[in-house]
Amino acid sequence: MCFLYSSAYASDKELLKRIDLLEQKVQKLEKLLADKETASDIKTKVYNNHKPNDQILDNHISRVGKNSDTTIQINPFPKIESEDKKTSIAVNALLQNDLALFTHEKSYLKEGAIVRNARISMRGKLYEDWSYFLQANLAKSDANPTYALISYSFSKNFTLSVGKMCEVFGLDNSTYNSNTFFLEKAAVHTITPNNKTGVMAVLNGEDWLVTLGGFGNYTNEEKSRVYRNYYSGSTRMTYSPIHNGNDVIHMGINANYQHAYKKFGKAEYKSRGESEISPYVLNTGIINNVDNIQSYGVEFATAKGPFVLETEYVTNMINRYRRKSVNFSGGYLQLAWVLTGEKREYSVQKGIFGGVIPSEPFNIKDGTKGAWEIALRYNYLNLNDKKANIYGGAMNNITLGLNWYPNYYIKIMANYAFIKTNRYSVTPNRPQVLMLRTQIGF
């Protein structure tokens, strides 16, 4: 009996303790309610108490990452650009594989295949006003870069560049290799300047362009001539009174002056004609005692929708010490028609036409055919000067072209050339050549 009582008493005592604990908890809850602090209020208070630390973290992120946010694109070419678009880096490439078949049975020219260009370039902006461009051609045996320049834009209409670049002269010479009508540029390209190291200013307006440059020694062996110890000045001025997206009229003048450091400068001009695979068909040999070389050119182009016509004439005069001056000349007339209706975009800022971008890329399943273009060119170059007793040969060529653009990146080209050379040429006959090219570029 006592045992039962004591057990009951112990049980009641434990129950009272539990009641006291519950009352304490109720009092605490009442106090919280009295202060109007709910669980969400407490959570907010805790967050606010830590907010200053978060702000410090945010400021740190802003300094090291927020202003460095970048956008990455793959199409149409790889490019990384800062969020404010003031800094960027882009990679471009151009691969051209050529094949040539000479059809004339008496031709001294040999067929073959080469990698015409394997160019990799990197370009971009630094802090909005600065830009750079670096390019190397892996198809060439030397390790020298084709382009290596830094530019500063004083305004959208005035840019100054320093480094190795193209000494701008002429329309065809200025056109990008990936956008030409034919496999090779016109033969008159032989007597125009090319890549040198120097400084160049580019000014442009709504319908005009002016380039002025000063350059040092000739540094690029792409061109088939030898210039030793020369400095030069060059200018190109273009004007386009009409460029409304469908119709274009373009005209320009060019001038180049090269002066030898010493009295006995040297020059050599030679041309392969229509194919880089062939040996030289024209060759003046080394011309000695050169004081200065002057080149002048005029250019004209017009476009209407898918039709484009371009023509140039260039004269070249080599002044020598105690010897007669030497005069060479050349020119071309070429036209192209995009059968599928696409247009070559014209750039007033550069004074050149762009490439063809198919409106419907080739796709067998969809039945789309890409873009198709036909082209025709008359091309001549005269490296003979009887008065100066220089006989490098002369040629008159007619070239037919067919270009297929399956998509933005790929271009397939076929050229058939009728080459006529005179008796002073390296190959005094009338060879014909079929040339094919596969190209990929971005």
Q: State whether 301 and 216 are in the same domain.
A: yes
Q: State whether 33 and 113 are in the same domain.
A: no
* pLDDT-based confidence at residue 11 (cuts at 50, 70, 90): very low
Give CA 178 to chain center in angstroms: 9
* pLDDT-based confidence at residue 87 (cuts at 50, 70, 90): very high
Q: Could you tell me the residue range of the domain that residue 251 belongs to?
A: 92-119+168-441
- Asked if pLDDT for residue 47 goes beyond 50, the answer is no
Number of domains in the chain: 2
How much is the pLDDT for 8? 38
The model's pLDDT over 318-337, given as tens digits with 9 standing for 90+, comes to: 999 889 999 999 999 999 99
If one compares 201 and 26, the residue with the highest pLDDT of the two is 201
Q: State whether 387 and 261 are in the same domain.
A: yes
Q: State whether 366 and 218 are in the same domain.
A: yes
Give mean pLDDT, residues 280-302. 94
- Asked if pLDDT for residue 64 goes beyond 70, the answer is no
Query: Mean pLDDT: which of 17-31, 261-275, 399-413 is highest?
Result: 399-413
Cα separation values, 303 from 252, 334, 407, Å: 15, 12, 23
Q: Tell whether 130 is covered by a domain.
A: no
Give mean pLDDT, residues 73-77. 86
Q: Tell whether 248 is covered by a domain.
A: yes
Phi, psi dihedrals of residue 137, rounded to the nearest 5°: -110, 105
Residue 367's CATH number: 2.40.160.10
The model's pLDDT over 99-158, given as tens digits with 9 standing for 90+, comes to: 999 876 555 667 799 999 999 999 999 988 999 999 999 998 676 889 999 999 999 999
Least confident of 60-69, 86-95, 109-118, 395-404: 60-69
Quote the CA–CA distance of 213 and 194 in Å, as a whole number.
12
Q: Tell whether 346 is covered by a domain.
A: yes
Beta-strand pair 70-73/79-82: antiparallel
Phi, psi dihedrals of residue 183, rounded to the nearest 5°: -60, -45
* pLDDT-based confidence at residue 33 (cuts at 50, 70, 90): low
Q: Tell whether 107 is covered by a domain.
A: yes
How much is the pLDDT for 119? 95
- Asked if pLDDT for residue 18 goes beyond 80, the answer is no
The model's pLDDT over 336-356, given as tens digits with 9 standing for 90+, comes to: 999 999 999 999 999 999 999
- Report whether the peptide linkage leading into residue 76 is cis, meaning its omega lies within 30 degrees of zero: yes
Least confident of 43-57, 365-379, 424-438: 43-57
The model's pLDDT over 366-401, given as tens digits with 9 standing for 90+, comes to: 999 999 999 999 999 999 999 999 999 999 999 999
Least confident of 2-11, 82-91, 97-106, 165-174: 2-11
How much is the pLDDT for 269? 93
Phi, psi dihedrals of residue 91, rounded to the nearest 5°: -120, 130
Mean model confidence pLDDT for the chain: 85
The model's pLDDT over 241-276, given as tens digits with 9 standing for 90+, comes to: 999 989 999 999 999 999 988 767 889 999 988 888
- Written in H, E and C, the secondary structure of the chain is CHHHHHHHHHHHHHHHHHHHHHHHHHHHHHHHHHCCCCHHHHHHHHHHHHHHHHHHHHHHHHHHCHHHCEEEECCCCCEEEECCCCCEEEEEEEEEEEEEEECCCCCCCCCEEEEEEEEEEEEEEECCCEEEEEEEECCCCCCCCCEEEEEEEEECCEEEEEEEEECCCCHHHHCCHHHCCCCCCCHHHHHCCCEEEEEEEEEECCCEEEEEEEEEEECCCCCCCCCCCEEEEEEEEEEEEEECCCEEEEEEEEEEEEEECCCCEEECCEECCCCCCCCCCEECCCEEEEEEEEEEEEEEEEEECCEEEEEEEEEEEEEECCEEEEEEEEEEEEEEEECCCCCCCEECCCCEECCCCCCCCCECCCCECCEEEEEEEEEEEEEEECCCCEEEEEEEEEEEEEEEECCCCEEEEEEEEEEEECCCCCCCCCCEEEEEEEEEEC
Q: State whether 56 and 196 are in the same domain.
A: no
* pLDDT-based confidence at residue 51 (cuts at 50, 70, 90): very low
* pTM given for the model: 0.80
Q: State whether 195 and 344 are in the same domain.
A: yes
Quote the CA–CA distance of 401 and 210 in Å, as a whole number.
32
